[in-house]
Amino acid sequence: MITLPDRVAEALPPGGAPLSLIDPDGTVGDAHGVLVMPHDEVLRELLRQMISGRRFDAQATALTKQGRLAVYPSSRGQEACQVGAVLALREQDWLFPTYRDTVAIITRSVEPPEALSLLRGEWHCGYDPYQRNVAPQCTPLATHALHAVGLAHAARVKHEDQVALVLLGDGATSEGDTHEALNFAAVWQAPAVFLVQNNGYAISVPLAKQTAAPALAYKGVGYGMRSLLIDGNDAAAVYAAVHSAVTRAAAGHGPTLIEALTYRIEAHTNADDAARYRDSAEVEAWLARDPLRRLETHLRDRKLVDDADLAQFATEAEQLAADVRAAMNRDMSADPADLFAHVYAEPTPALTAQREFLLAELAGGQDRSLK
Amino acid sequence: MNHVMDRPTATPPRPAPAGREAGGRDAGPVTMAAALNSALADALASDPYVLVFGEDVGPLGGVFRVTDGLAARFGEDRVFDTPLAESGIIGTAIGMAMNGLRPVVEMQFDAFAYPAFEQVTSHLAKLRNRTRGRISLPVVVRVPFGGGIGGVEHHCDSSEAYYVHTAGLRVVTPGTASDAYRLLRQSIECPDPVIFLEPKRRYWSREPLSAEGGPAIGQALIRRPGTDVTLIAYGGTVGTALEAADAAAAEQGLDVEVMDLRSLSPFDDTTVAGSVRRTGRALVLHEAAGFGGYGAEVASRLTEQCFHYLEAPILRVTGFDVPYPPPALEQYHLPGVDRILDAIARLQWDDHA
């Protein structure tokens, strides 16, 4: 008789239902003993940051309508993933976000104007990745997952304690790079964590057209990787799942794939019309599973927050929105000479000549006479 | 210089024993494959952050044996086999370089590198620019390239035009064993990502290894000085160009200058245009198809820079605009000495003194 290695059994997601610590009504959920409820202070911080994140997201969407941002992919409804995953990281760990993860990036303490540089159209990445260990936002899908695996493997080669967290969407799991990243990570036992925010749609295409897998978490089984299926609107569950995955990875026990079931309340971006591919009843059903309300209810029931706390959180969120508005209403300071400055470590003679050409053109010094 | 003109053989002999200290102190001729092996060994020995990985590069030593013995000498933590996935190899190399390492990766054959195209063009090439220089990716991608070895389909592409069109990449290719050593060491030292194209048909060409000196990474080199015409070649066609120069001297009484580009991108305008201004005539030689090919860029920029010095249009001698042929037909596709001499003859010699 063939016996399966232990790690295969371990890799199977426990139970058929997603793990949760706090259910939509605020009561304690069923995590099958796999997830541990975060400390009270962590729960309060999750709520505080989710309130700020949602306000930031609404402000960014509003700025697109005023023409101050070129585009903004909203993560409204996904705050539990955006905030819960990032707060579970340690200072030395790395975050590999996508274009939809700006809330996660500011939760990691990247300055909001720098985080919005890409979507404003000012520069492709506005922040220094090494300052907060946040990789540039990935716009093609899943390519950054391989970068995360390489970075994590390098940390092990250098005997440094670092874990890389990759944020992915459900659509990205169809990309070849997701497969290669999961496979490399498992073979190398790299200290990497993959969080798939399954929000139901890849722009307009529903999950049923992406995969026939019973759950995306089950894909981890094929790679011999520990996998978890969690309620992605439960910030406590997201925090606990990522925290345990980071702890295991740091201890040398390899990567984890986490599928978090959530929902994108807004359209793909401000330029999209979600009514063309989904009906409002579906959105209403997910609004009832709101990640902020359930944590607030839970914390109020346990007397861990009161009206004064919530007023304070709201005030902080309004201040953040006001700061973002002010920063985005300032004109951009894009320097044409920057086009040539960072293509190579040292500008090539040809690029130096092209820079001089452009600057002369801008100075009106071009001599168009025919000689 | 006859050692660089060895005819390729369909069955590769094993390279001469490599791994001599500091690039081979004994003076015997070595193959290009062995010179590359020495360069990798010396880089691994001098910098603990250099890693070598890819498909079959570990205990096997690579399908061309370029990494022969390296896993045994440096351990499989530093010289290792990866899963068989080219995008994964380049993508993880990017992440390793983000974290301070200097990966040297191998794409097993030119056409097998295409699954990694997105990682190379959208990320390896662009992350420095995307982050205003904060992320530096000193990654070397070794790609055995070109034909002339009797390889079957997907084993003989000349893919340089795809890479040179991408800003942010350096694309280099050696023409001789000594240059293979020096250029690979320079590429590993370079802070920019480097596509290092290894001409398969020259892997077994031999010459005494000269590890020191030579031009910098971005510079072209005059392999054979001449006064009548500049024959511009790179990689596998350098040897062919030198052969053609000898034949032109004997059959046409012409003194051909052979320019080995070494660096396809950035292009060394100073050295190459300087030569063309002196000779007044130029030919560009490559195996790849002519249409939309690298030679078009070379001819165009040299025409712009040297127009008043030219005695004739700059001609290209290239492969045909066809998918790379099967072994039975590749001799008709690859530009050889006769085709070069015919092109030289068409360079408007009527008024030549």
- pLDDT tens profile B80-122: 999 999 999 999 999 999 999 999 999 999 999 999 999 999 9
Q: Which of B155, B286, B308, B352 is catalytic?
A: B155
The pLDDT, as a whole number, for residue B2 is: 35
Partner residues linked to B259 by β-bridges: B222, B232
Does residue B60 carry a pLDDT above 90? yes
Predicted local distance difference test score (pLDDT) of residue A150: 98
Question: CATH 3.40.630.40: does it fit domain A6-329?
Answer: no
B77, B99, B191 ranked by CB distance to A151: nearest? B99
Predicted pLDDT of residue A337:
96
Using DSSP bridges, classify how beta strands A201-202 and A205-206 pair: parallel, antiparallel or unpaired: antiparallel
* H or E element, residue B259: strand B256-260
With contact defined as beta carbons under 8 Å apart, do B146 and B158 qualify? Answer: yes
pLDDT at A228: 94
Give the Cα separation of A323 and A326 in Å (integer): 5
CA distance B353 to B347: 14
Q: Do B192 and A344 touch (CB under 8 A)?
A: yes
CATH of domain B221-345: 3.40.50.920
Name the residue of chain B whose CA is nearest to A353's CA.
B269
* Domain boundaries of chain A, sorted by first residue: 6-329, 335-371
Retrieve residue B151's tokens: 């390889």
* Whether the predicted pLDDT of B287 surpasses 60: yes
Give the nearest partner residue to B269 out of A143, A180, A350, using CB atoms: A350
DSSP track, A320-344? HHHHHHHHHHSPP---TTHHHHTSS
Tell me how close the Cα of B95 comes to any Cα of chain A, in angstroms.
Answer: 4
Q: Alpha helices of B143-234 — where are they, by DSSP H?
A: 160-164, 177-189
pLDDT value at position B112? 95
**Distances B10 to A113, B146, B149, B150, B332 between C-alpha atoms, Å:** 59, 14, 5, 5, 17
Going residue by residue through chain A, which has 371 residues, state the pLDDT in tens, using 9 for 90 and above: 455 455 555 556 656 689 999 999 999 998 888 999 999 999 999 999 999 999 999 999 999 999 999 999 999 999 999 999 999 999 999 999 999 999 999 999 999 999 999 999 999 999 999 999 999 999 999 999 999 999 999 999 999 999 999 999 999 999 999 999 999 999 999 999 999 999 999 999 999 999 999 899 999 989 999 999 999 999 999 999 999 999 999 999 999 999 999 999 999 998 889 999 999 999 999 999 999 999 999 999 999 999 999 999 999 999 999 999 999 999 888 899 999 999 999 999 999 999 999 999 999 865 666 65
Tell me which residue in B100, B133, B267 faces A154 most closely, judged by beta carbons: B100
Give the pairing of strands A94-96 and A164-169.
Answer: parallel
Pairwise CB contact (< 8 Å): A147 & B94: yes
Give the pLDDT of residue B350: 87
Interchain CB distance below 8 Å, A125 and B51: no
Domain boundaries, chain B: 2-208, 221-345
Give yes or no for a contact between B173 and B262, defined as CB atoms under 8 angstroms apart.
Answer: yes
| Contact: B167, A343; criterion CB under 8 Å | yes
Q: Do A345 and B191 touch (CB under 8 A)?
A: yes
The residue behind tokens 């700061």 is: A323
Question: What is the average per-residue pLDDT within B320-346?
Answer: 97
CB nearest to B91's CB, from A150, A155, A345: A150
* Residues of A (347-366) whose Cβ lies below 8 Å from B: 348-350
Q: Say if residue B137's pLDDT is above 70.
A: yes
Annotated catalytic, B333? no
Cβ contact (<8 Å) for A158 and B87?
no
End-to-end CA distance of chain A: 89
Residue of B nearest to A180 (CA): B88
Contact B139, B105 (CB under 8 A): yes
Q: Which one, of B198, B13, B26, lies nearest residue B104 by Cα? A: B198
Q: Judging by DSSP bridges, how do beta strands A205-206 and B206-208 pair with one another? A: unpaired
| pLDDT, position B213 | 83
Measured in angstroms, the CA of A313 and the nearest CA of chain B are apart by: 33
What is the pLDDT at residue A271?
87
3-state secondary structure of B234: coil
Q: Considering the domain B2-208 in this protein, what is its CATH number?
A: 3.40.50.970
pLDDT per position as a tens digit, B28-53: 899 999 999 999 999 999 999 999 99
Asked whether the domain spanning B221-345 has the same topology as the one spanning B2-208, the reply is: yes
Scan for tokens 């508005």, then name that residue: A325
Out of A124, A152, A349, the one facing B130 most closely (by C-beta) is A124
Nearest-Cα residue of chain A relative to residue B115 = A176
Query: Is residue B15's pLDDT more than 50?
Result: no
- On whether ipTM exceeds 0.90, the answer is yes
Angstrom distance (rounded) from CA B28 to CA B252: 35
Task: Report residue A19 as tokens.
Answer: 């793990």
Give contacts of A 117-156 with B, CB under 8 A. 123-125, 128-130, 135-136, 140, 143, 145-155
Residues of B in contact with A183 (CB under 8 A): 83, 85, 88
CB under 8 A, 24+ apart: contacts of A335-342: A336/A362, A338/A123, A338/B132, A341/B132, A341/B133, A342/B128, A342/B129, A342/B131, A342/B132, A342/B133
What pLDDT is stored for residue B4 in this prediction?
A: 34
Is there a contact between A343 and B270 if contact means CB atoms under 8 Å apart?
A: no
